[in-house]
């Protein structure tokens, strides 16, 4: 039977001999070997009358064919014989082309399933498979960080896996844009407007005394009472006072000092 390692080497040398770049030659040779492996696995199942989708085999083959062996590190920090992801080497080589340094030379390799599992970026995933002591020792010596991008490491530490409805759960949401123009007599300069959630539910439960530092529990604003330090009613007595409802639009908040009355003054 044909040796997939030799087939990969032959294809890689063939594409290099045609004058193609090392990156293009590596990708094309790997694609041809990937197709060869998927077809060989499928032929075994189909000979027994079993029909299996290609995607199940392709997931495994992709992991087996994602690495390359460094032949010459050039001006990079990579060492000869090191197994690195092909896309990572290309990112480093692109940086070298900008700075004028010598790029790294590499050869695509085909790893076995066990070897591919141990050569993952996640040391938590690798340690849970085999050679736990060696994996954790190397991770501690090298000061590795696990970014928890895969399924296995998220399951191990009890986080929501990045799949299905949880795929984008850990992406940072963009900060909401807050319009300027909130200058008012009752707004503190130290108030962080991004922390104020402008919805009715939050507004009813928002602690005005804590954030604004001006209103007490029993104070009156525009004839409306304050309950538990939270603003329960709209500010003002009608259109003449602006009919401003806290939680709807802070840009409309414009209260005269006359509307702020203490316990000793009756509401108009």
Looking at the structure, tell me whether residues 103 and 59 fall in a common domain: yes
The CATH number for 61's domain is 1.10.1790.20
**108-162 residue pLDDT tens:** 999 988 887 788 889 999 999 888 999 999 999 999 998 888 889 999 999 998 8
Q: Does a structural domain hold residue 91?
A: yes
pLDDT in tens, the chain (268 residues): 678 889 999 999 999 999 898 989 999 999 999 999 999 999 999 999 999 999 999 999 998 998 999 999 999 999 999 999 999 999 999 999 999 999 999 999 999 888 877 888 899 999 998 889 999 999 999 999 988 888 899 999 999 988 888 777 656 556 666 565 545 444 455 545 454 444 444 444 544 444 454 444 444 444 444 444 444 444 444 444 444 444 444 444 444 444 444 444 444 4
Q: At 230, phi and psi to the nearest 5?
A: -110, 145
**Do 34 and 81 share a domain, yes or no?**
yes
Domain that holds residue 202: 193-261
Determine the longest span between alpha carbons in the chain, in angstroms: 98
With respect to residue 166, please indicate whether it lies within any of the assigned structural domains: no
State whether 11 and 66 are in the same domain: yes
Residue 39 sits in the same domain as residue 96: yes
What is the rounded distance in angstroms from the CA atom of residue 261 to the CA atom of residue 134? 72
Looking at the structure, do residues 49 and 90 belong to the same domain, yes or no?
yes
124 and 200 fall within a common domain: no
State how many domains the chain has.
Answer: 3
Q: Are residues 127 and 207 in the same domain?
A: no
Distance of CA 8 to the CA centre of its chain: 34
Same domain, 17 and 50: yes
Q: Is the pTM higher than 0.75?
A: no
Same domain, 133 and 200: no
For residues 80 and 13, membership in a common domain is answered with: yes
Task: Answer whether residue 174 is part of any domain.
Answer: no
Is there a contact between 220 and 206 (Cβ–Cβ < 8 Å)? no
d(C-alpha 203, C-alpha 230), whole Å: 8
Q: Lay out the sheet containing 260-261: strands in order across.
A: 230-231, 224-227, 220-221, 260-261
């Amino acid at each position: 039977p044909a040796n997939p390692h030799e087939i990969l080497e032959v294809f890689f040398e063939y594409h290099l001999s045609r004058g193609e770049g090392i990156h293009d030659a590596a990708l094309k040779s790997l694609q041809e070997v990937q197709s060869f492996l998927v077809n060989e696995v499928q032929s075994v199942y189909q000979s027994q009358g079993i029909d299996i989708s290609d995607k199940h085999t392709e997931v495994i083959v992709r992991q087996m064919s994602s690495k390359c062996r460094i032949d010459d590190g050039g001006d990079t920090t990579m060492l000869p014989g090191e197994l690195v992801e092909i896309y990572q080497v290309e990112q480093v080589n692109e940086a070298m082309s900008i700075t004028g340094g010598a790029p790294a030379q590499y050869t695509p390799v085909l790893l076995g399933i066990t070897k591919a599992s141990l050569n993952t970026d996640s040391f938590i995933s690798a340690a849970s498979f085999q050679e736990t002591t060696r994996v954790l020792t190397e991770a501690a010596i090298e000061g590795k960080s696990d970014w928890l991008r895969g399924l296995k490491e998220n399951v191990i530490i009890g986080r929501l896996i990045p799949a299905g409805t949880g795929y984008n759960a850990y992406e940072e949401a963009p900060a909401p844009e807050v319009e300027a123009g909130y200058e008012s007599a009752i707004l503190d300069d130290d108030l962080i407007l991004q922390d104020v959630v402008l919805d009715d539910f939050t507004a009813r439960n928002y602690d005005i005394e804590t954030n604004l530092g001006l209103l007490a529990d029993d104070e009156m604003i525009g004839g409306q009472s304050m309950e538990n330090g939270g603003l329960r009613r709209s500010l003002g007595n009608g259109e003449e006072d602006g009919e401003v409802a806290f939680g709807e639009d802070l840009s409309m908040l414009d209260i005269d000092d006359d509307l702020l009355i203490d316990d000793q003054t009756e509401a108009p």
